[in-house]
Chains A and B, each alone.
Chain A
Amino acid sequence: MSKVKKEGHKGGGNWKDFFHVIRKMRLPWHWIIIAFLCNFLYNRVMLDLPTVTAGLMSGSTDSQALVDAVWFYVLFTLVLCGDVALRSPARHVAARNIRRVIWKKMLRIRMDYYDGHNPSDLMSTMTNDATTATEYLVEFLVGFLPTIYYVAAALQTISSYNVWLMVSVFLLLPLKLIYAVFVGRWQYRTQFGVFKEIGSLTAYLAERVRNLMLIKTYTNEERELKNGEKTSYGLFDANMKVNKLNCVITALTTLLGMAQVMVVMVFGVLLLKRGDIDIQQWVAFYMFSGTLSTSFSNLIDYWMKLKSVQGAMARTAELLRAPEEEEQEGKREEKGAGTEVCFDHVSFSYGDKEALKDVSFTIPEGSSAAVIGLCGSGKTTSLSLLEHFYEPQEGTVSLGGVSVADIPLQALRGRMGYVQQGADIFSGTVREALTYGLHREVPDEEIWAAARKTGFAEILEKWDAGLDTPVAPGGTSMSGGQRQKLVLTREFMRGADVLLFDEPTSALDAAAARMVQDTIFDTFPDQTKIIVTHDLSLIRRVDQIIVLDRGVLAGCGSYSDLYGKCGAFMELIAACQAEKEAAKC
């Protein structure tokens, strides 16, 4: 994993990654080709623009020239609109496609990848970077060649007026190149630095606002006021840096523009005086020199953007190369396989950090087991191994006598129910939350029947909208106990054979915890249940207790087997000594 990270930090990126991503990202080629043709046409029409305008400007006043000019402008408008209109679908469709590709990939990456890469960070940087990069790329594909065509053709037209005019165009070219490359880079770097500064200052202010309650409790308003002032002045300075930068750039651009005009004037007027060109050609040349410098800087811009695309693509390529969960052919679910869970000498580590060491235990079909231990003792990891989110380095994890690695993922996870501490619920309606993951249309009667079974119906009846009651993101519109009941109802409908609970009661108050506990045992009497918990009141109700201590199996057996015999178990019990003594009095 650390190796992957290092490669990621290298930045830059190479062309191999670049083409790898391009192959995968499904660019909308038909849109790109249409936009390319449009852009080409636009550049073609642009070529005639100076000549036509110059015809008007040079004082030819016959009405035919005027009518021609007006027609030409109408054509120009149409082509311009077409170019803008058709370039935009190419860009947005490409962005849409890359978003789809990335999201699809993110849903299929193996879970261990996310241990080293925060999915939220991945998501935001990836979607923003990747979509901007894609848009740049499309711009490049659509605009680069037509612009080159325009430059070449314009130079040819100018040289047809007079060769010296063309030479004058190149006179300022080196200066412009230096300006575009160096100033562009310098500008980018300075702005990047300043934006980073602005970002961190803004983050500071945001954090304070989020914790205003704390500030009030600690009556620290005066000092925070001063801090906020200091930060605001910092923001002011940073913004002024950008402002000064803009001034320098304006100055440079003005100077360059002036030099341009001077060259055109001096050369043009000299040639005009000698009679080598006429006034119409001079005006056309004057206009060409303007559009040409725009085209030159566009070309440089295209190239520099392409370079930045390369960097972003390297990171995208890394993501797209991340290992996926494999769905091998030939895996076949054995019909009627049992639900006995067996860990056979399993060792597992996250990178260098050992999580489980040579752990073996068996949970018989239909029984319940509690996994207990301190934080970081590998409890949750063992659940993840059972769901085959990770591959153990040694040993095998099996379900019903078959190694989980040999069961198709869909079938394996379809047989397992999973309830966690925070009760994960997506926003939507209660109906959607209850039928999540059922992969079929469910009649309301079935939902109500299940809800009655778990006692969720009592809660549901209180809500006016019933099953259509909206659920806030993360289920925050419900209390912890209600959320857990909802999730248990969902599991009941899914009809899983094996139920995994990851601290189902730890976020609840005593009464709610009790209620959820009862629901678990009443609703799922015959299923194999594995409960990771800190809640010692749960452990007396299970058939078997598995004690983990820093990744090592410290004990396994019933409450009476372990009581007084297993050191780690007694330590955990002792930590609750106060509770116990209190209960006696």
Chain B
Amino acid sequence: MLRQIKDYTKIFKGIRLPWFLILLVLVISMIKSHVEVEAITITASIIDGTQNSIKTDELIRYIEFQLITGGITIAFTYLTGLLLQKINLAVRLRMWNKMMRLPTSYYDSDNVNELVTRVTTDAESAGNYFQLLIDIFTAVYAGIVAYQKLFDFQFQMALASLLVIPVMVFITWLYGRLTYTAGAAARTRLASVMGYLAEHVRSIRLMKSFCMEGEEQKKARGLFGRQCKADILLSYTSMIQLAGMEVMGCLNIVISFVLGSRMIASGDLTVGKLIGFYTLCGLAVTRLASLCTSVGTFSQNAGIMKKIGQVLDVPDEKEEGCEMDVADEDIVLDHVDFSYQSAKVLRDLNCSIPKGKVTAIVGTNGAGKTTLFKLLERMYDPTEGTILFGKRDVQDFKLSAWRKSFAIVSQDKPLLSGTVRDNILYGVERKVTEEELIHVAKMANVYDFVMDTPGQFDAQVGPGGSNFSGGQQQCIAIARAMMRNPDYLLLDEATSNLDVKSEKTVTEALSNLMKGRTTILIAHNYSATVFADQVIVLCDGQIEACGTPEELLRTNDYYRTFAHQAAEAGK
């Protein structure tokens, strides 16, 4: 547990915790425990009193106390809520900050959806975790206060009531263990049901085509059945807690009333005090039970804290270096190797990408073309070898400055939800006039269809750009790249997955974009390579050939087949 606490405090390093608020919450929770105990004492004396006559002053005191208790409860609810949210906010901001500075390689190793959870739900758990610490403190304090009062009431009986503690610890421990196991089983079942449904619901047509309705129904039936069983089992564990609480209630009664009746008979105790003792006993036990639950939850949730801690431990991307205030230069790859996890993706690349020219890269799927782009953008660093900008190592330049001189248009054209304008102006730091926007939109073949869309530049693109067709999304992405006015342009199969007509529009837009820029493109069709000044054939992570298209047609087999296919298609 100590290690868990250490894990935990690590997360809060660098966060300004609302210490004053924490103190306030602690003080209020302490007052609350006292007031609760006091209220029981008053009730006891009222009950004693009513046997003879009503004392109005006691009733009034009771009402006052109730009002105070209410007030404190409200304040407590509000302040703990505020504290929880403040801590959530702080952790979330810290995570968000970290996300922006993580090296890109981190996104590949960790599942992206997992990272999403880090900022959304996990940040929330961090706050809850803090709340748990407070809960533990409160439970301990309230437990002590309650038992102290018990001893005040009647020493021997209080001593006897301590017997309940081991029973309770055992029950809570058992309950914790069982819920943990049953809960994990139920979650696994739920996950498998959700996984099955998510995968199959998208392919209803396929199942129908294959006449698999019957079989799939049977499969789902089994999955639902198992999920149901796991859920039932989980709900049975709560029975243990209920039964346990009742058993403790019984023990309470036995201890209070067996001993109590003797004391009353001997005149050592009043009925009111007996009832007070009984109620107080119940309160003390509840406090202790909540302590056990909190401790249990604490260790169960430690996993989440660890995950957050791991993300925070990853070193940031370097941000030192000089500005890119130099003239364009050739980019030279000098014996560049790159391994991804343990697999070698790129091997001993040597080539030069001349400034102001068009370089095309061709090669089979998985040859490492996209990885090469990532190296050029400095999303990854080469495992060995260097990338040079003219004569200087690219590592010398400031990362943000380097990336600012690049723009990429890729096959999967990611648009962010927001308006068309937001997307085109994405990452532009200066003020852009309406004329400039329209000019760029026209150059990128965006203008016409945007004008036809209701809302025009302020039309929403929808999640992932889904309000527009594939070709239109690509044109918006091109406008975005154009707005950035980069010196170096990376095109990653920008026209694949489009039908012939949209391909034409996109190609037009691209050629506008390429004017006057150093362009490196990954080509999936021959036509795109014909106009290149240089073609690089990448095969299994190695450069197989490099030269002008004409040279390669004569010397390289792969390039020749590539051209041949296109010729056959076009005939």
Contact = CB atoms under 8 A, between A and B. Distances in A.
Interface of A: 56-59, 61-63, 66, 69-70, 73-74, 76-77, 80-81, 84-85, 88-89, 92-93, 95-96, 99-100, 103-104, 106-108, 111, 114, 119-120, 122-123, 127, 202, 204-221, 223-225, 228-229, 232-233, 235-236, 239-240, 242-244, 246-247, 250-251, 254-255, 258, 261-262, 265, 269, 272-273, 279, 282, 325, 374-375, 387, 389, 409-410, 413-414, 416, 418, 420, 424, 426-427, 436-437, 439, 473-474, 479-481, 494, 506-512, 514, 534-537, 540, 572, 575-585
B351 interface: no
B275 interface: yes
B215 A439 contact: yes
A258 B569 contact: no
Given A119-B201, A210-B112, 8 more contacts: A77-B243, A93-B228, A96-B224, A99-B224, A218-B426, A269-B54, A575-B504, A580-B570
Interface string B58-79: 0100110011011001100110
Interface stretch (B25-33, B97-105, B131-139, B432-440): B97-105
B257 A108 contact: no
A584 B567 contact: yes
B404 A535 contact: no
Q: Which secondary structure dominates where chain A touches chain B?
A: helix
A102 to B, nearest CB: 10
A129 to B, nearest CB: 14
B247 A77 contact: yes
B199 A427 contact: yes
**Closest 9 pairs between A and B when the two form their complex, measured CB to CB:** A580-B570, A437-B210, A218-B427, A583-B567, A243-B81, A537-B569, A61-B261, A254-B70, A88-B235
Interface string B207-227: 111111101110011001101
Contacts of A111: 204-205, 208
Given A244-B78, A512-B365, A582-B527, A576 B66 contact: no
Contact of A212 (B107, B217, B243, B569): B107
Contacts of A578: 507, 527
A582 B566 contact: yes
Contacts of A61: 257, 260-261, 264-265
Contact of B209 (A220, A251, A273, A418): A418
A582 B67 contact: no
Given A219-B403, A244-B78, A235 B107 contact: no
B571 A580 contact: yes
A265 B56 CA distance: 11
Interface in B412-435: 414, 416-417, 426-427, 429
B365 A479 contact: yes
Instruction: Give the interface centre of B66, B195, B249, B416 by most chain A CB atoms within 10 Å.
Output: B416
Contacts of B377: 216-217
Q: Which secondary structure dominates where chain B touches chain A?
A: helix
Contacts of B232: 88-89, 92-93
Given A61-B264, A251-B74, A374 B97 contact: no
B328 interface: no
Interface of B: 50-51, 53-54, 59, 62-63, 66-67, 69-70, 73-74, 77-78, 81-82, 85-86, 88-89, 92-93, 96-97, 99-102, 104, 107, 112, 115-116, 119-120, 195, 197-213, 215-217, 220-221, 224-225, 227-228, 231-232, 235-236, 238-239, 242-243, 246-247, 249-250, 253-254, 257-258, 260-261, 264-265, 271, 274-275, 278, 364-366, 377, 379, 400, 403-404, 406-408, 414, 416-417, 426-427, 429, 463, 469, 480, 484, 497, 499-504, 507, 524-527, 530, 561-571
A119 B201 CA distance: 6
18 contacts: A61-B257, A80-B242, A81-B242, A103-B197, A119-B204, A209-B99, A212-B107, A214-B416, A223-B427, A244-B78, A258-B63, A387-B209, A420-B206, A534-B499, A536-B569, A575-B501, A578-B507, A581-B570
Contacts of A88: 231-232, 235-236
A439 B211 contact: yes
A206 B116 CA distance: 5
Nearest to B252: A73
Contacts of B265: 61
A418 B206 contact: yes
A99 B194 CA distance: 12
A273 B220 contact: no
Contacts of A580: 566-567, 569-571
Contact of A76 (B120, B246, B571): B246
Nearest to B319: A221
Nearest to A572: B500
Contact of B199 (A107, A269, A416, A426): A426
Given A73-B249, A213-B379, A232 B50 contact: no
B217 A583 contact: no
A57 B47 CA distance: 10
Contacts of B69: 254
A19 to B, nearest CB: 24
A508 B411 CA distance: 13
Nearest to B531: A582
Nearest to A426: B199
B476 to A, nearest CB: 13
Contact of A413 (B51, B211, B264): B211
B78 A58 contact: no
Given A212-B107, A512-B365, A583-B563, A58 B271 contact: yes
A509 B216 CA distance: 33
A207 B463 contact: yes
A345 to B, nearest CB: 26
Given A205-B120, A540-B571, A106 B242 contact: no
B209 A534 contact: no
B365 to A, nearest CB: 5
Nearest to B70: A254
Contacts of A235: 88-89, 92
Nearest to A251: B74
Contacts of A224: 100
A535 B569 contact: yes
B410 to A, nearest CB: 9
B570 A583 contact: yes
B250 A73 contact: yes
A236 B89 contact: yes
Contacts of B238: 84
B427 A220 contact: yes
Given A59-B271, A85-B236, A120-B201, A236 B85 contact: yes
Nearest to A258: B66
A123 B195 CA distance: 12
B199 A219 contact: no
B85 A217 contact: no
Contacts of B62: 265
Nearest to B463: A207
Nearest to A412: B211
